[in-house]
A and B are shown apart, each in its own frame.
Chain A
Amino acid sequence: MTACIALVVIGPSQHMLDVILLSFMWAGLALAWNIAGGYAGLISLGHAAFFGIGAYTSSILTVKAGVTPWIGMWVGAVAAAVIGAILTLICARLRGPFFILSTLAAAEVVRIGALNWTSVTGGAEGLMILPTPSAMNMVFGSKTTYAMLMLIYMVVTYVVTKAIEGSRYGYYLFAIRDDEEAASAAGVNPLLARTGAMCTSAFLTAIGGSLFAQYFLFLDPTNVISPELSFQFALIPALGGLGTAIGPVLGAFVITPLSELLRSYFGGGAAGLHLAIYGAVLIIVMLYFPSGISGALMRHLTWKGDSAR
């Protein structure tokens, strides 16, 4: 990762820069998801809703009202956090698959809503942001600036994650995730703690959504609120290692370059092959390394350490 940061400074090829930039973004989004999914045990397959709310709020404010995305992204983030809080208050008592499916359904409601509320969202035709570079409108001419922006986003989500992990609140979350009854008997309010985690996660995901919109300058409901996107948010931390700060980063920095590499290697000749390989890798990792890449690495390192002693 340090190498990636160094590369951005040196000035790599445009395609390479694209991959690094996307890796930063995915790492940030995966970290954000992990706060709810990995730390609080709220496995959500509806985070695309928060991502979409963030992307749409800042973009609509920019396009229709001329509000700069520098302000708009906070509005979107607060909106997503509120929705996240409501969803958790309603659904946190549901267990296992029931919670997962509820988040999926909630995201679908948001997606279909965005698709049909044409007057505001532009519906299926999507929404275009003017591509004239201006720092005021968070539209930049060079990819390096975007890469820096994504890097900052990743670092912020990482710091937030680390802060939660080391705090009293983090221990509350772990306790609830591992044994809710014992935790509430010990005086932790599970509903409140979980709602907080979901709010934080939704807030950060929405910021990621705004940044995504500012980079691609185009958004439609199928791209920013699809179930596939929600799956992606969950799968990267799962691959990297749930409930750790480094896991989602590792996951993003393995998956993003790998899928870009496979895609450019196989090209248009074999559409879907890179995703088929991705699916197979996912099955193998989940079955044989349930604690993800970071878990496997950790075990390897401790094993080495033991034999050295």
Chain B
Amino acid sequence: MVAMTTIGQLVFSGLLIGSIYALMSMGLTLIFGVLRVVNFAHGEFLMFAMYGAWAFVTYTGFNAYVACLAVVPAMLLYGALIHWIIIRPGLNKPHLVVVFATMGLSILMQNLALLVFSADLFDVPPLNAGRSITIGPFYAKLELLIGFGVTLLATAVIHVVLKSTYLGKAIRATVQDGEAAQLMGIPVPRIFLITFSAGSALVGLSACVMIPLFSVFPSVGLNFVLIAFVVVVLGGMGSLEGALLGGICIGVVQSLSGYYVAPAYGQMFFFILFLLVMVFRPAGLMGRRGEATLGMLD
């Protein structure tokens, strides 16, 4: 009986933290799905946005969720800027160009942050004085519950936008066949710009959700981007629902292995899980079959 409650609590905590992993991975999977590029600076986008949220909270005194009113538009613009400077010029070159250029960008951003903020850890005061609240038999931090809600809301909104607006239709057409979409009069370069900016804005949103839970420091992006890579590959690269499912899987695996094996090995489990997925089902849980193994990327 006791063991059952423990497992229940662990799964519940894993579900909540996993939803936050899903949220931070959605920008990455969206950009990959449409532009077919992996943004290796994704973690540094998150780090920048977390510093932004931290600065907003520290200097205005509002809580982190208000910060998204400033951080999300700022990241939208930043995404547009990076798309204009780096991604668009790299798109018509071999795919390695974008890989290495975004790696350069990640080094640049990480060290700019080090210059400005030094290597210190920054965090914001917790809501509810850091106390957990009870829901039925389970306990949870308020910040995690809000994060879970925001993730579900964001997934629903993106889903509706993609399925039932004109823009969403244009994006889906671009994903299916870029050339045909172009011929049908869809401004594909503008779709790329919008998607990259929207993906960055999503990173901004997740930063506001994460700053009450995690400290920010210049190299924080690497920890999170590795998780994000596992999440999007597990879910199927380019699939939004997949990212949600993948994130929750990772959260639950981390939570259970952290309790029953050892916290230090928690990360190792999901990298092994990642490799197993690559071996047995490279398309991920909800990705397009053959995408990872047949040359659909070239």
- B271 and A238 within 8 A (CB): no
Query: Which residues of chain B are within 8 angstroms of A115 by Cβ–Cβ distance?
Result: 264
Residue B230 CB within 8 A of the other chain: yes
CB proximity to B under 8 Å, residues A75-107: 90-91, 93-98, 100-102, 104-106
User: Which residue of chain A has the shortest Cβ distance to B38 in the bound complex?
Assistant: A97
Query: Which residues of chain B are within 8 angstroms of A113 by Cβ–Cβ distance?
Result: 268
Residue B178 CB within 8 A of the other chain: no
Contact mask for chain B residues 228-240; partner A; CB cutoff 8 A; 1 contact, 0 none: 0110010001000
Q: Of B92-100, B129-137, B165-173, which binds chain A?
A: B92-100
Contact mask for chain B residues 10-52; partner A; CB cutoff 8 A; 1 contact, 0 none: 0000000000000000000000100000100000000000000
- B229 and A104 within 8 A (CB): yes
Query: Which residues of chain B are within 8 angstroms of A101 by Cβ–Cβ distance?
Result: 38, 229, 233, 274
> How far is the CB of B41 from the nearest CB of chain A, in Å?
9
- A271 and B292 within 8 A (CB): no
Residue A189 CB within 8 A of the other chain: no
CB proximity to A under 8 Å, residues B50-96: 86, 89-90, 93-96
Query: Which residues of chain B are within 8 angstroms of A279 by Cβ–Cβ distance?
Result: 104-111
Contact of A100 among B38, B97, B106, B222 (CB under 8 A): B38
Query: Which residues of chain B are within 8 angstroms of A280 by Cβ–Cβ distance?
Result: 104, 108
- A96 and B297 within 8 A (CB): yes
Contact of B275 among A100, A109, A276, A286 (CB under 8 A): A109
In the bound assembly, the distance between CA atoms of A106 and B226 in angstroms comes to 12
Residue B185 CB within 8 A of the other chain: no
Residue A282 CB within 8 A of the other chain: yes
- B118 and A271 within 8 A (CB): yes
Query: Which residues of chain A are within 8 angstroms of B96 by Cβ–Cβ distance?
Result: 43, 238, 242, 290
In the bound assembly, the distance between CA atoms of A286 and B111 in angstroms comes to 19
Contact of B218 among A104, A242, A272 (CB under 8 A): A272
- A276 and B112 within 8 A (CB): yes
User: Which residue of chain B has the shortest Cβ distance to A284 in the bound complex?
Assistant: B104
Residue A14 CB within 8 A of the other chain: no
> How far is the CB of A187 from the nearest CB of chain B, in Å?
20
CB proximity to B under 8 Å, residues A150-205: 180
Contact of A275 among B32, B90, B107, B264 (CB under 8 A): B107
Contact of A105 among B110, B271, B297 (CB under 8 A): B271
Residue B115 CB within 8 A of the other chain: yes
Determine which residue in A94, A102, A273 has the highest number of CB atoms from chain B within 10 A of its CB, and name it: A102
- B271 and A112 within 8 A (CB): yes
> How far is the CB of B87 from the nearest CB of chain A, in Å?
10
Query: Which residues of chain B are within 8 angstroms of A265 by Cβ–Cβ distance?
Result: none
Query: Which residues of chain B are within 8 angstroms of A290 by Cβ–Cβ distance?
Result: 93-94, 96-97
Residue B177 CB within 8 A of the other chain: no
Contact of B101 among A100, A105, A286 (CB under 8 A): A286
Contact mask for chain A residues 203-240; partner B; CB cutoff 8 A; 1 contact, 0 none: 00000000000000000000000011001001100100
Query: Which residues of chain A are within 8 angstroms of B89 by Cβ–Cβ distance?
Result: 287
Contact mask for chain B residues 114-150; partner A; CB cutoff 8 A; 1 contact, 0 none: 1100110000000000000000000000000000000
- B114 and A90 within 8 A (CB): no
Query: Which residues of chain A are within 8 angstroms of B103 by Cβ–Cβ distance?
Result: 231, 234-235, 282
Contact mask for chain A residues 45-67; partner B; CB cutoff 8 A; 1 contact, 0 none: 00000000000000000000000
Residue B9 CB within 8 A of the other chain: no
Contact of B265 among A98, A104, A116, A283 (CB under 8 A): A116
Which residues does B use to contact A, with CB under 8 Å?
32, 38, 86, 89-90, 93-97, 99-101, 103-115, 118-119, 218, 222, 226, 229-230, 233, 237, 262, 264-265, 267-268, 271-272, 274-275, 278-279, 282, 292-298
Q: A105-B230, A272-B115, A273-B115 are in contact. List 4 more A-B contacts (CB 8 A).
A: A95-B296, A96-B297, A280-B108, A282-B108
- Show 25 A/B contacts (Cβ-Cβ < 8 Å), sorted by A: A91-B278, A95-B292, A96-B297, A97-B32, A98-B292, A102-B275, A104-B226, A105-B226, A105-B275, A106-B275, A227-B222, A228-B222, A234-B100, A271-B115, A272-B110, A272-B218, A273-B111, A275-B110, A276-B108, A278-B107, A279-B108, A280-B108, A287-B90, A287-B97, A290-B93
